[in-house]
Amino acid sequence: MSEQKNPDYLTETSDGFLIDLATPIDLDGTQTSRVTMREPTVQDQLDVQAIKASEAYREVTLMANLCSLAPEQIKAMTMRNYRRLQGALEVFTE
């Protein structure tokens, strides 16, 4: 993905990243401190660009899709956790 050193909270997998969160999140009653983000496809980008919403809402929707989470679960994250997801997305788009 990138020749630069990835942040310590990202572990590269065969199809994306395992992201260590700064604080655990509740996913359907289960506390988890890691989420997986797959690498986006061109279709993912086209789908999110078709949404009539702000860039921030489109980003939340994209990250939710890539992490197999609901947008509401992304919105409930702390900013530190959200920045980690943004960091993974940035590595994909460098």
pLDDT in tens, 32-70: 999 999 999 999 999 999 999 999 999 999 999 999 999
- The confidence band for 94, taking pLDDT boundaries of 50, 70 and 90, is confident
Cβ–Cβ under 8 Å, residues 23 and 80: yes
pTM of the model: 0.90
Residue 55: count of CB within 10 angstroms of its CB: 8
Over pLDDT 90: what percentage of the chain? Answer: 89
Q: Can you tell me the mean pLDDT for 8-20?
A: 95
> Does residue 9 sit in helix, strand or coil?
coil
Give DSSP secondary structure letters for 27-80. Answer: ETTEEEEEEEEEPP-HHHHHHHHTS-S-HHHHHHHHHHHHHT--HHHHHTS-HH
